[in-house]
Amino acid sequence: MRTREPALFLLLVALGAGPAAAGELAGVTLPDQIAVDSKTLVLNGLGLREATVLKVDVYVAGLYLETKSSDPGEITGSEQVKRLVLKFVRSVGRAEIVKAWDEGFEKSAGRSNAALRDRIATFNSWMSDLPDGATLSFTYLPGTGVQVEVKGETMGTIPGPDFAQGLFGIWLGPSPPNPGLKRGLLGLH
């Protein structure tokens, strides 16, 4: 019997060691958990950005948080590590993405937008054409700011919790790019 126990143990480990669970939407799969700054973040939800009246798929967004939440105000205002990942399912030119950020910040930050202008300009300067399959990642680290990655390359960090609130508010504020995207990120499909 002792010779069978290691074999049984290995079989059980192999059966349980399949791929990590993941979220999937519109052909894009994102992991259920990621590690950021020695913290484990969980996938709060996935949303699909649709553009124009034709509802053209643009990107799948995944929101990662330390603790799941369906409260947009709590998420944007919290001083927790959080990450938003955008995986593009169609090509988008730099001019289009910069225009979308400008409009998004205007809706999200409102009167506070003027205080963010220089930081938004820096943020926009890091953008480039995004081919199908490209990824953008925005990670808020309390006390540091929002680390911006474009196509897997770290571009820099934009300081200030006000910038983070304005940025995450683009998707989670009262005027998201489309309502289904916000509901998905909040885990409310």
Note the pTM of the prediction, 2 decimals.
0.85
Residue the block writes with tokens 């955008």: 86
Q: At 162, which helix (H) or strand (E)?
A: helix 161-172
Amino acid type, 49: R
Instruction: Note the pLDDT tens digit of each residue in 163-175.
Output: 999 999 999 999 9
Q: Which residues pair with 25 in a beta bridge?
A: 28
Domains assigned to the chain: 27-185 (3.50.70.10)
Evaluate whether 180 touches 49 at the Cβ level (below 8 Å).
no
Amino acid type, 151: K
User: Is the model's pLDDT at 125 over the cut of 70?
Assistant: yes
Instruction: Note the pLDDT tens digit of each residue in 75-115.
Output: 999 999 999 999 999 999 999 999 999 999 999 988 888 89
Distance CA 14, CA 156 (A): 40
Tokens representing 2 are 């002792």
